[in-house]
Amino acid sequence: MANWENIKDSLFAAGRDVSQKAKEVSEVAKLKMDIHAKEDFVEKQFAILGRAYYEVKKDNVSAEEEEQFAVIKEALDEIERMNQQMLDIQGVVVCPNCGKKVPADNCYCSACGAKLDDVVVDAEVVSEEPVTEDTVEPPVEEHTEE
Ligand SMILES: [Zn+2]
């Protein structure tokens, strides 16, 4: 006849092993997630650093970096070209003021009211505030008790 105390002890030990294993598994899973998140973070920081480096050096590239810079420049130009192609197909322009897409035949941005006529002009955009608001709200004055 089996000793009940022994059986109970071994069952208890087995249960403890299982919960110990489960604990290890979940700790490892959590660590994996944390590692992954940190790796993502580092990759983003590298990307930020790389972009800053690119912006600083692009007009004065050394011979050994010339090819890498050229590859990036080419890809950026391609993106720009495809973006423009997409806008042309959609018949929209991007508002230079707010970045919203608005119909290409609009004179003013339907989102922010900025003038769209001079979008294609290369010269610096003179910030000319268009008066398009029909209802001008009176400025809220703060009353200070004297
Ligand atoms: Zn706008």
114 and 49 within one domain: no
Q: Which of 14-23, 35-44, 84-93, 95-104 has the lowest mean pLDDT?
A: 14-23
First to last CA, the chain: 96
For 111, residues 6+ apart whose C-beta sits below 8 A from its C-beta are: 95, 98, 100, 102
Q: How far is the CA of 73 from the centre of ligand 1 (A)?
A: 28
Quote the pLDDT of residue 97: 93
Residue 145: the pLDDT is 56
Rounded to the nearest angstrom, the distance between the alpha carbon of 108 and the centre of ligand 1 is 8
User: Is residue 22 located within the same domain as residue 66?
Assistant: yes
pTM of the model as a whole: 0.52
* Residues 15 and 71 grouped into a single domain: yes
Dump pLDDT digits (tens) for 67-106.
Answer: 999 999 999 999 999 999 999 999 999 999 999 999 999 9
The per-residue pLDDT for 121 is: 43
- The pair of structure tokens assigned to 62 is 């050394």
In a domain, 42, yes or no: yes
Q: How much helix, strand and coil, in percent to the nearest 5, is found in the chain?
A: 60, 5, 35
What pLDDT does 111 receive?
A: 93
- Largest pairwise CA distance in the chain: 98
Tell me the CA–centroid distance for residue 99 and ligand 1, in Å. 6
84 and 14 share one domain: yes
Residue 114 CB partners (closer than 8 Å, separation 6+): 95, 96, 97, 98, 108, 130
Question: What pLDDT score was predicted for residue 142?
Answer: 60
Quick one: angle between helices 4-57 and 66-90, nearest 10? Answer: 90
CA of 54 from ligand 1 middle (Å) equals 29
